[in-house]
Chain A
Amino acid sequence: MRTPLRPLARVLQARQEGLNPDSIEKENLKLRHDALREKSRGRAQFRMLILCASFVMAFGTIGARMGLMAATEPTEPRARATGAEIIAQRADITDRNGRVLATNMATHALYAHPKDMVDPKGTAQKLAELFPELDAKALERRFTDGRRFVWIRKVLSPEQMQKVHEIGDPGLLFGPREMRLYPNGTLAAHILGGSSFGAEGVHSAEVIGVAGIEKAMDARLRDPAQGGKPLTLSIDLTLQSATEEVLASGMTMLNAKGATAILMDARTGEILTMASLPTFDPNDRPNPLADPNAEPGDSPLFNRAVQGVYELGSTFKIFATAQALELGLLQPDSMVDANAPMQWGRHRISEFEGKNYGPLLSVTDVIAKSSNVGTAHIALMIGALRQQAFLKSLGFFEPTSVELIEAPGARPLIPRRWPEIVTITASYGHGLSASPLHLAVAYAAIANGGVAIKPTLLKREGPTTGVRVMSETTAYESVRMLRRVVTEGTASLGEVPGYEVAGKTGTADKPKRTGGYYEDKVVNTFAAVFPASNPQYVLVVTLDEPQDDTLSQPRRTAGWTAVPVAAEIIRRVAPLMGLRPKLEPVVVDAVTAASN
Chain B
Amino acid sequence: MRSVLYVLSFLALIALGFWAYRENYATQAALKEVEALQSQIVGLHEALTVQKAEWAYLNRPDRLRDLATANFDRLGLLPMEPSQFGTAAQVAYPRPKLPDISFTQDVRGTITGEAEGL
Contact = CB atoms under 8 A, between A and B. Distances in A.
A426 interface: no
Interface in A560-592: 571-572, 574-576, 580-581, 583, 585-588, 591-592
Contacts, number: 96
Nearest to A106: B46
Interface string A232-246: 000001100110010
B42 A574 contact: no
Which of B49, B56, B65, B90 has most chain A Cβ within 10 Å?
A: B56
B53 A185 contact: no
A105 B53 contact: yes
A79 B90 contact: no
Contacts of B35: 78
Nearest to B58: A183
A104 interface: yes
B52 A100 contact: yes
A105 B47 CA distance: 9
Interface residues of B, number: 36
A73 interface: no
A183 B60 CA distance: 7
Contacts of A242: 61, 79
A574 B56 contact: no
A86 interface: yes
Interface in B40-86: 41-42, 45-46, 49-50, 52-53, 55-57, 59-62, 65, 79-86
A16 B115 CA distance: 185
A76 interface: yes
Given A105-B49, A585-B90, A499 B56 contact: no
Given A78-B31, A106-B46, A595-B92, A574 B82 contact: yes
A496 interface: yes
Interface residues of A, number: 43
B52 A76 contact: no
A499 B83 CA distance: 11
Interface of A is mostly: loop
A187 B62 contact: yes
B50 A106 contact: yes
A70 interface: no
B46 A183 contact: no
Interface string A535-549: 000000000000000
Contacts of B86: 585
Nearest to B95: A594
B24 interface: no
Contacts of A241: 61-62, 65
B50 A237 contact: no
Interface in A74-112: 76, 78-80, 84, 86, 88, 99-100, 103-106
B90 A591 contact: yes
A103 B38 contact: no
Nearest to B44: A86
B110 interface: no
Closest 6 CB pairs between A and B? Answer: A241-B61, A594-B92, A183-B56, A100-B56, A183-B57, A581-B82
Given A242-B79, A592-B90, 18 more contacts: A78-B34, A79-B34, A86-B38, A100-B55, A103-B53, A105-B53, A106-B46, A183-B56, A184-B62, A238-B61, A242-B61, A572-B80, A575-B81, A575-B85, A580-B85, A583-B82, A585-B86, A594-B93
14 contacts: A76-B38, A78-B31, A99-B56, A103-B53, A185-B60, A572-B79, A575-B80, A581-B82, A583-B85, A586-B83, A591-B91, A594-B92, A595-B92, A595-B93
